[in-house]
Each structure stands twice: as C-alpha cells, then as structure tokens.
Amino acid sequence: MDHQALLRAVETSDCKVFIEWYKRVETENISAVRESVDRLSNKDLCGIWTVFTKWVAHATNSLKENPNLPENDSIMTTLLFMSTMATYTIHNMSNNEPQGLQPSVKAMNGSLKFVNCKKAATSICKMSEHYWKVHPELETFLSINTIQWFLTQAIHPKATLVSVKQLWDMKQSIEKLNALILESSGLLTLFLSAISNSKFIGSNEGQKCIACLFNFNTVIVQVLQKTVKKFIPLATVNDCESLGEIYFKAWRMATEERRADIEFAIQDLMYHAVVACRKPLGVIEGGVNKVPMNKLLFHLLHSIHRQRKQRTVAVLIHILYKPILWRYLEASNGLVRGNALCLFFDAFPFESGEGFEEDEAVRTKQWAIMLGALMDPVPLVRTIAIQGTCRILSQYWEIVPVNIIQDFITCLMRKLLYDSSSADVRAHVVKGLVMMLESRQTHSLLEKMIPLTNKVLHDPNEKVRSEYVFLLTHVQKLRVSKLWEVIDVNQLVGRLAMETSKNVCIRLATLLAPFYCPKSTPEIVFQRCLRLIIDNRLASRKFYQYIDTCVGIEQIAQLILIIWKFLRNHIHKQLQRNKSSQQREETANQRRPCGAKRSRQGEGAESIPNTTENEDKENQDGSTDSEETGNEEFSECSIIGLIDVVCILLSVNKTKFKAPPNVVYWENIKSRFSKTCSLFFRYFKNSEGLRPLICLYGLMSSTSSTLLLSFVKSQLKSLTDEATCKEFSYLVDVMCTWGRGEDLLDLITDHLQGNLMNFIAEKSPLSDTRKGKATRKKRVSFETPKDSKPLLGLRCMAYILQHPYNKKIILRKNLEQIEKLCETLKAVLLIAENNPNRLTNRESFLFVAASLYVKMVLVLACSYKREKSDLKYMESQEKIVGILSWTKRLMENEDLNPILGDLISSAVSSISNLVMIHSMTWEVFRQFLDVVLQVVTKYPSSKNLTLAMNCAYHSLVFVWSERSIGNECDVECESRINLIINCVLECASLVTASGSSTRFCLDENDWSLVRDIVKKILEECHRHRPEKHESIREIVRKMVDTIRLDMMQPGQGDGKKKADDASCQHQLSKAIIAAFRTQNSLAKMILDEFFEVFQSNENETTLVDCVAIARLLESLGQNKGRIAPGTLANAILSFEDCWLTVGEIEKSANSDRVAYVSATITELKKAISV
C-alpha cells in the first residue's frame, strides 16, 4: 500500500476525506493502514499529528458539549480511527515523539466517559494502555478513566464475563492508585455499586477486583464493610457465598497491616450471624428480604470455613470465634444457641495453633459442647445438634475417641430417636443415620444398631416414617447388611397395608420391589405377586399402585400377561372339574326315577350363555402349563386379588400403555383378555370377583360386546332401592366408559317417573304435567321394572354428576336426555313446597330429588356458552331464578320444617358454586344475594352463618373479577355483600355474647371454616386496597369494630384474664385475629385501621379503648404467628400515642386498668425490643 496516499489524505485538512480513505483501505486489506504508518518517517508522523491534533480536539470538545446529539456517530468514527492511528504511531515512533500525540491521547482518554460506542472506547483504552507503558509517569492520569470505563461496562446489566476479565487485567494500575484518588475520581462509588451486582461478584475476576480494594486503608475497609452489610439482606444465597470468597481472598492478598482490619470485619459478621433473625424480615429499605438473615450470613461465613484445611486459616477461625462462639453457645435464647451451633458445626474442627496439649483441650471442649447440645431443651437446637453430630461422625470418625462415639450413639439411638416432644428431632436422627452410612467406617457399628430401630417404622408422624423407609432403602442400596436382617419383610408389608401417606407408600413400594417384583423371569415375578396377595391383599393393591415409579412398562405388561395366563388356566381347570362333577350327578340322577324338569325360566342376562366349542378349545390351549402346579392351595380371594392387581396396573399405567412405543403391549393385553371374556364371566358369575372383573373389562375398551353389556345391565336392574354407592358405582362407570349413557339415563328415568306420578296423582293441578314420552330413536332399552326404585335412580344420577369423567361423557353424548330428566324433576320443588310433612329426613325421596334437581340445573348452566345470545343459557338462568324464588317462598313460613331449612341451605350452597365460576347474570346474582341475606337474618344458625360468609366471599371475588376485566358492576350488589358480612358479624357477636342459645354458637368445624373464609376476605380486601375503595374499607372497618367491641366488653378490662382465653374473646373476634395473624400484610392492614378509628375520633381516647388495644396487642404478643416484629413495633408506638391522649382524671379513677395497660406496654416493648 502506498503511504503517500495517507499523506495526501491528511494534507487536505479535511477529516471526511481521511475517513473515506481509511475505510476504503481497511476494506481492501485490514493490515494496510498499519503498514502505511510503519512506512512513514518521523518527520511525516510529526506532520500528520499536527493535523490529527486539531481533529481530535474538535471531536472531543463537540462530544463533551453535546454528548447526546444524533450526529455523534461521525464523532465516534473519528475517535475510533484517531485512537487506532495513535496506537500504530506509538508502536512505530522512535525517540522523537510527534508533538501532537500526547495532547491527543489525553483528550481522547478524557472523553471516555462520554463515548457510547464500545468499539471506539475499547480502542481508546488500548491506546491509553500502550501510551502509559512508554510514559509511566502518566499511568495514574490515564488509567483512572480507563478503569472507570471498564468497570462501568462490567456492572452493566447485560455485561459479559469478558468485561470483568478486561477490568481485572488492569489489576496493577488499580493497585497503584491511592485511597484519595479512588474516592475523588468516583471509582470507589462504582466499585461499591459492583458489590450488589450478582454477576460481577459471582465471577472469580470480579471477586479479586473487590478484594484488592481492602488493601488500601482502614477507611476503605470500613466503607466496604458497611456496603456489604447493607446489601446482605437483599442478596441471595449465592451472592453471600461470593461475598465470603471476597473476604477470604482479600485476607489472603492483604498485607499484615491490612489483615487486622479484614479480620475485624469478618468477626463483625460472625457476631451478626450468631444473633441474626431466623425469619425473613420482609419489606426493608431498598427492597424485600426473602431469605432469613441467619441463612445468608451462614453461607457467607461458610465460604471462609471451607478453607479451614489450611492450617493458618483454621487457627484464624478459632481466634476470631473465640470471644463470640463459646459465649453464645450457652446463651439463654434458644434461637441464638441454634445459630451459634450451626456456625460451630460448619467450622469444626477448631484448632488453637498453640501446641498439642492446647489443641487436645479445645477438642475435648468441642465434644462436651456437642453432647450438651444433643440434650438441649429446645427442639430446634437438638435437630441442629443431631445433624451436625452425624456429619462429624461421618467425616471425622477416625479422630473421634471411642468413648465419645459411644456417648453420641447412645444419646441418638436410645433417647432422641424416641423423643416424644418433637417429631422433627426423631426425623433428623433418622436422617443423621443416612448421613453416617455414607462413610464405610461406620458400617460395622450401624449394622448392629439399625436392626434395633424397627419400631420407628410405625412412628405416628409421617415424616419420620418416610425418612426411616429411606434409611432402609439406603441400607439395601449400600449393601450394609441384608434387608431381612435389619427388619422383617412382613412388617414392611403390614405397614404398607395400613399406610395413608402417598410419599411413604411410594418409598415402601420401591423398598419392596426387589422382593415382589424382581428383575427375573415373568414366572418368578408372578409367584412373588401371588405370594404378596396371599399374605396381604390390601398391601398388594397399594404395592402395585405405586410400582410404576421403579419398574418399567415392559415388565408390567409381562406381569399382566402371565396373570392372564394363570387365570385362564385356573378357571378352565375349575370349570372342567365342575362339569365332571355335574356329569357324575346327572348320571346318578338318571338311575333314579325321572323327576320334574328343571325350569330354565329367569332373567336372560343372569346366566351368561355358554361359550362356543371354538372358544372352549381356544381357552383350553395351554391349560396344563407348569405354572398351574400346586394352585389348589390358593383360595378364591387370591384369584380375585389377581384381578384387582391387573385393574390397578391398567388404571395407573393406561396413559403409558397408549404411548406410541408401548401400543404393542396394550394391543396384546386387550386381545388376550377379549378371548377369555365369556370364560371369566361364566366363572365369576354371582361371586365377589364380578365387581373387579367388570371394572377390568371397563378399562379395556371404550366399546362393549352385546353379551357383556346385557350382563352389566342385568346387574343394575337387580339392585335394590337401598343399594349403596359402592354397589352401583363400578357399573355406572363401565356404562359411561362404553358410551351407554342413553341406556343408563333410561333406567334412571324409569325409576323416577313411577314415584313422581304417585306424588302428582295426589294433587289435581299436577295431574297433567306429564302426557307422554317423547319419541326416541331405536335403541336397546330397559323393561319397565315392576317395583319402582326411585332412590337408586337418584343416587346413580348424583354419582354421575359428582364423577368428572362420567359427567363429561354424559353431557357430551346425552345432553338432550339430561335436559328432559331435569324437566321431569322440576315438579319436585312444588311437591316439596305443598307437602313439607313428606320431608322426614335428609335421605327421603323429596329431599334427595330436590337437591339433585338444583345440581342438574347448575350443571346444565355451566355446560352452555355464557352468552346472552344462547337461548339455553338464558333458560337455565331463568330456572335458577325459579329456584331462588322457591327458596324465598319457603322462608315465608314462620314454622319452617328443619329438614326444609337444610334443603334451602343445600340449594344456596350449590348456587354459590355457580358464583365461583362466574356462570351467572347480574339479575340472578342480585336475587342470590337477597336469598343469602334472608337466610342469615331469619335463620342465624351456625351452619347458615358459615354458609353466608362463604357466599359473601365468592360474591366479593365475583364482583371484583368482573370489574377487573372491564365489565360494569352493580354498586347495589357491593352494598348487599357488605350487608351480609355485617349481619354475620353482628349475629355471631350477639349470640356468643348473650350465650342464651347454644344452637347459634359456632361449633369447632364451622369456626375453622369461618376463620379461613375471613382470611380469604381480608386477602381480597388487601388486594384491592381499602384506602382506594370505600366498599372494601367498610368490610375491614366492620371486622375491626367486631374485635374492638369484643375487647371492650365489661369485666374484661382489668387485665386479670389472658387475652387468648376463650372466655375473654368471642368466637368471631378470635376467628378474625387468627385469620390476620397468618399474614403480615393483613395484620398491618387491620392494625392501621384499628388505630385510624381511634385517631378519627374527635374526643379524647377513653381508658376502655386503650384497654381494648392493650388486650389485642397482648394477644398478638403471645402468639404473633407470621406478623413481622416491625409491624408489632409500629403498633406499640401508635398505642403509646393513643395512651397519651387519655385524660388524667380517668386514669386516677381506674388505677387497676392503668397498671394493666402500663405493664402491657412495658412487657411488649421488652419482648419486641422496641
């Protein structure tokens, strides 16, 4: 490349001409520019930099004056090319430096803070670094802006690790700065902000950058310590571990003079870790503390503790902890002891570094601390001690003396494993044994001790049982000893049979899988399966319900097929025996005088037709297989148990079987069982095995054979009117699965119509309500039964509506029939209204029929499109209005039948479910609220109060959800919801205060429900901010008034009774307090409203008001639940302000109450450290 072209471009004194030349040359050859500069003489370099200096000065001045102008792109290009030319010049110049180079370098370096082009800024930084290597005296001046730019890029939210590494490459320049320059240049502020950047401190280079700052002076160390402490509450666990790494690297890199400052900073963090709170602080200055402070500080110090393998670090840890840890391990506060113990175990073992005897003394002290902590009175401390002790035994088994090991094991296995005061303690002992098993050195001892713990398998706490089963699984996996040597397998089977926890059942199934479902031949797996069924049939059901978690689908398919083969052979053999026996009887009878022929009349479906000869021949194949040997010892229950197992395996794994890779297994199973369908039903006819067999074939296919369908229908027809859900549920499920809902609904309709006609016939106005059946398409139908079974029909229909799968199928395929059946049942409402004496109990026909009609109307309303243009949807809304009008008419009767009252409550409860899913028009919603209000005012029973509160909550959600999506809301509905809540609170308060009638008092279950509903209402109020909506604020204020009036009851202000005593607090106020106690935001909302009521009062606060506040705060102080200490502290300060407004004359006249309030304030301030 001709360097003369460069000189000609510069001689024009036009920067644009030079830029065009630069771009053209660089495009042709990327190294051509550098080659051109290399060919220039020193005189030429001086000449071009005379011109370059003017261009650089103009560009930098323009950039500083207007840093955000759009035309700055050309300036960035100029700076990029000028900095590149400067770099090439620095490499090429001899002893004589071009005169304009230095001012140009300084100008471009000074403009770094205004440069927004990363490429140009990087080029300027590179130029500056090359220049200060030639002129070391300018390094401090040039490096400040360079470091600042790299640091700004490194802490950018979108920064990469490359930026952090580029900053760390400036390490020598950073170390040459002093504290004054660091602070005056703004670099210190940037470094402090980098501490709160997770990505920056998470990288090794970023940690080193922060660590090197600790080596400046004491003031810088204090500033860094203050910044770290401010950031910790907002940090994550990983952030805290990174901060710990920074402290350790700073200590390792520091001089002896600075190490003392760093050690003091670490010791300060150790102290705060010991006394830290074990619960999140919530909202704090700058953000939200989500992780407990003790956990954050623990992880910070853990980064230092794990370096204790270095002798000097171990000695340092002991020196720093010595004035703190030993003292707080004996503190009176259990939480402080727990924090100290966590740090103690994490930093173990401590070494004094003063000699062998001193180290031994320290070690002896540590054994004593551990043994004492195991017997601590606080369960939390014991659990920490158990976990730490077991970890130490696992890791340091060789250095622990034998007598100490004996003491530890004795305490763990004989005392703490059976600690009746805390299930967590027992669970942690079992976890500790699992931890100890990780060390092979412990196996020789534990293989003798674990068999003595088998009683823990039946611990009343689920968590303990789950951990113990996991321990046994670990023993089996590590082959410490044989499982049957540790515990009897029959115990595990028995536990599985009675276990109610899903988690424990899964772990037990995994533990027993090698015994009862081994990876062996299908014949052996079948034998184990049969053995489990014989030993414990209930356990076998649970085992195969959860076996899919540890056994593949192929093995499950093989087990099903081998069970089918055994069933086929066994049943065929039994039928042959029965046939031979029958033939012998017939031969004997032929020798006798001829008798009357046996009648063959009966239900055709009751006797399954015999199989054809071809089917018999097919089912006979393989009937003499080896697995049939010895099957005579098996009972009939075992055979039924095998069918149960197949049903369970198919139902649990049906989705897996239908996956494309496993379809071949599914088709094979279906074809095998289809071949033996008639054989199985002929054998299990009229026996206990019929139910699981029908369920089995119901799972096989969505269609049915005529033979099987007839049999199921005959079973349904043969049921009595008193049949329970257990007797007909499986038959209904099968019919729905086969898509035979039409036949099922025909049967239900036939059962109901006869009984309804009897009721209608007694009333002439109803005689013409049904004139005939609508014509239906030709299908298989039931014959009209001679005796009506109305309750059976009602129960079957109710079961269909309750079962989601059945309901979905029926509504999709038989919606028209459901609508006709609903119309048929409509007359029940009028019958019940005109004949209330017929409602004798909740199981009577009218009660069940009316409840079912309401549910059917609601189900149909949910199945239609929720649009006003949909006629069926609007008709369903009219039916709901009719039901509500019917309830209003019933409540006009002053002497209401209690059973009829239960029917009203049932109807209102069902309609409230429709409010939940927003399937209701505003007109229907208004009438619903009227009915709820009428129920709670006329019949304020415990059940109705709970129902009304629940309806109010669903209505509140309905109104605000509609408003949130932009729909217009009826203001009148909001006022009615508030009125319902007010009525509930007033009724309950009056009733519980008078105590005149026990029937109104909330029972234990209703009280729990009311508490949960109140909590949901408060959460909804808090979500929509009471200060912005008056209707929401009225609800909160009413609940506050309920508590306040209860606390101000006469005889309760003397302070002699505890605030949580049931005799002091009424049920509703206790429910409200228990509700907002579970969430800090709710408590803050209630307490703020509580004090605002008093502050809004124009008169001075009375002593009775202050006693009420004191009793509430005392109650919260005794059991604050999840209320943050800050919330209670603010409440106490507000309480003091109220207390100052009480008149002195009233105080002097009530010395007992004054003493109670003063003592309460003092105790609360002491407890919460205000």
Burial of 967 (0-12, 13-18, 19+ CB in 10 A): exposed
Give the pLDDT confidence of 83-125 residue by residue, as tens digits.
888 888 888 776 677 788 888 888 888 888 888 888 888 888 9
User: Which structure tokens are listed for 239?
Assistant: 């952030």
User: Which structure tokens are listed for 876?
Assistant: 């369903």
Distance CA 399, CA 173 (A): 48
The answer to whether 499 touches 508, Cβ cutoff 8 Å, is: yes
What phi-psi label fits residue 479: left (phi over 0), alpha (psi between -120 and 50 degrees) or beta? left
Give the pLDDT confidence of 682-696 residue by residue, as tens digits.
888 777 888 888 888
The answer to whether 343 touches 273, Cβ cutoff 8 Å, is: yes
Give the pLDDT confidence of 712-763 residue by residue, as tens digits.
888 888 888 888 888 888 888 888 888 888 888 888 888 887 777 766 655 4
Distance CA 658, CA 667 (A): 9
User: Which structure tokens are listed for 61?
Assistant: 């001045």
Distance CA 347, CA 329 (A): 14
Local structure of 1066: helix, strand or coil: coil
User: Which structure tokens are listed for 633?
Assistant: 């010892």
What phi-psi label fits residue 29: left (phi over 0), alpha (psi between -120 and 50 degrees) or beta? beta
Residue 627: per-residue pLDDT: 43
Separation of CA 69 from chain center: 52
DSSP 8-state code for residue 773: P
Distance CA 893, CA 885 (A): 14
Whether this prediction's pTM lies above 0.75 is answered by no
Distance CA 996, CA 402 (A): 70
The one-letter amino acid code at 518 reads P
Residue 74: per-residue pLDDT: 81
Closest CA to 861 of 810, 899, 915: 915
* Phi, psi (rounded to 5 degrees) for 119: -65, -45
- The helix-helix angle for 256-274 and 334-347 (nearest 10°) equals 140
Exposure on the CB side of residue 87, measured as CA atoms within 13 A? 19
Give the pLDDT confidence of 1022-1031 residue by residue, as tens digits.
888 777 778 8
Q: Which residue has the tokens 């069924």?
A: 533
* Phi, psi (rounded to 5 degrees) for 289: -90, 110
Q: Quick one: which H or E segment has residue 143?
A: helix 139-154
Closest CA to 1020 of 930, 1090, 960, 1089: 960
The one-letter amino acid code at 1065 reads Q
The answer to whether 348 touches 400, Cβ cutoff 8 Å, is: no
Give the pLDDT confidence of 282-293 residue by residue, as tens digits.
778 778 888 999
- Number of residues that make up the chain: 1170
Q: Quick one: which H or E segment has residue 288?
A: strand 287-289
User: Which structure tokens are listed for 729?
Assistant: 């549920």
The answer to whether 687 touches 718, Cβ cutoff 8 Å, is: no
Local structure of 685: helix, strand or coil: coil
What's the Cα-to-Cα distance from 191 to each of 124, 126, 149, 518, 1036, rounded to whole Å?
Answer: 22, 22, 12, 62, 48
* Phi, psi (rounded to 5 degrees) for 502: -65, -40
Burial of 269 (0-12, 13-18, 19+ CB in 10 A): buried
Distance CA 201, CA 761 (A): 87
Residues of the chain with pLDDT under 70: 1-3, 67-72, 94-95, 591-634, 701-705, 758-787, 988-1001, 1049-1065, 1094-1101, 1168-1170
Distance CA 797, CA 820 (A): 13
C-alpha dihedral sign at 372, 374, 376, 382: positive
DSSP 8-state code for residue 518: -
The answer to whether 486 touches 453, Cβ cutoff 8 Å, is: no
**Would you list the DSSP string of 307-327?**
TTTSHHHHHHHHHHHTTTHHH
Distance CA 1052, CA 353 (A): 64
